[in-house]
Amino acid sequence: MKRDGIKETVWVIGMKEVSEVVEEVKKLVESKAVKIDRSNEMDEEIIHALFKNKLLGVLVPEELGGAGLGLLEASKVVEELAKVSCSVAHSTFVHNMAVDGILRFGNEEQKNRFLPILASKKLATAMITEPSGGSDVSNSIKMRAEKSGESYILNGTKTFITNSTHAEIHIVVARTGEGKKGLTAFVVEGNDGIEVTKLNPSGMRGSGLGTVRFNEVEVPEDNVLLGEGSGLKVALGMLAPARVPFSSIALGLAEGCLENTIAYIKRREAFGRKIAEFQFIQFKIAELFADIEAVKRLVYHAAELAGKQDITVLAAMAKLKSSELAKRAADFAVQLHGGYGIISNSYADRAYRDAKTLEIAEGTSEMMKLIISRAVLS
């Protein structure tokens, strides 16, 4: 789709432009999107392709085997993937969020130990949410981490964890004491003592969503991020900037809905005319396109400011408006596809289910409004 007068940024991963690399992987993802949704299974071939093309190492420094790029580029990657599969985009996003957590809060030894394998072969996840809640991080975490010599023993349950079925590196926030200073973040390697129960969501199917139980899982104290008692800082420090690439997933879904709908209404006829020739339909297309471009500027602006200033409020704004846009775009796609829009596993059907998930995951719309309103009223 042409965007006259809008400059598109070009990034390079190795010797290829990001757009070329993502386009190559997108073709593979698109060919498997329906199967992933139906089976609710992550696809090994896609995971391999993501590693091979450094899309799971986009944030990892070049000297450690990654692409050495930033949040803007990571956002663009998941935006493009989300046009064909929000599930694959979400899996990619969560892995990169875990990578970003180690980049931000890991010491040099931890970075050198974990980042090369996260850029090349081991999928990661971040485990914060528990059955008792997710939004209220400081009070909802019950998982215990008991000190034992030079290690910690973790016991408890995390839920709604993306990549849980395939991840081998986990960033886990557990309780080592009471109150806000009683949380600690760990990098857990492997799956010994870990039991995963796959969940069956309506949206984002095939992203490895599961409930994860820890039974006497031993973690060396060398794997603590930022020191004992810093878990809340690590959790919030990961979540705030991560809402920017998550917003890009919503943006990509909206763009995919628009592109698919335009293709359909250009060939579908009603009352002797192509549906695209009706003016009221054209106006709806214009409104959605304008909204997409407006939200895109907000998301990209937040990504560009990451690392330069606190983007907590800006990221919340991006997450709120992008998820609202995605839901509206998906509804538009279903409506204009008519009966075909409600056929199970069709593009419009998947988009409609995924769009609702986008309003809930990584901070509900209500939490985003709370963050924004507190900043405005202060």
* CA separation for the pair 94, 190 (Å, rounded): 17
CA nearest neighbour of 76 among 10, 142, 166, 150: 10
Amino acid at 348: A
- Contact between 96 and 112 under an 8 Å Cβ cutoff? The reply is no
- Contact between 186 and 171 under an 8 Å Cβ cutoff? The reply is yes
* 3-state SS class at 356: helix
* CA separation for the pair 322, 359 (Å, rounded): 9
* CA separation for the pair 244, 47 (Å, rounded): 22
* CA separation for the pair 86, 93 (Å, rounded): 10
In eight-state DSSP terms, residue 22 is H
* CA separation for the pair 22, 38 (Å, rounded): 24
Q: Which of 228, 259, 362, 366 is catalytic?
A: 362
Strands 124-127 and 169-175: parallel
Q: How far is CA 100 from the centre of its chain?
A: 12
Whose tokens are 């965007």? That residue is 3
Cα 329–324–308 angle (5° rounding)? 120
Q: How many CA atoms lie within 13 A of 187 on its CB side?
A: 25
Q: Phi then psi for 373, rounded to 5 degrees?
A: -65, -35
In eight-state DSSP terms, residue 325 is H
User: 236-254 b/e with 16+ CB inside 10 Å = b?
Assistant: ebbbbbbbbbbbbbbbbbb
Q: Please list the residues that pair with 332 across neighbouring strands.
A: none
Q: Phi then psi for 343, rounded to 5 degrees?
A: -75, 130
362 catalytic residue (yes or no): yes
Catalytic center residues: 362
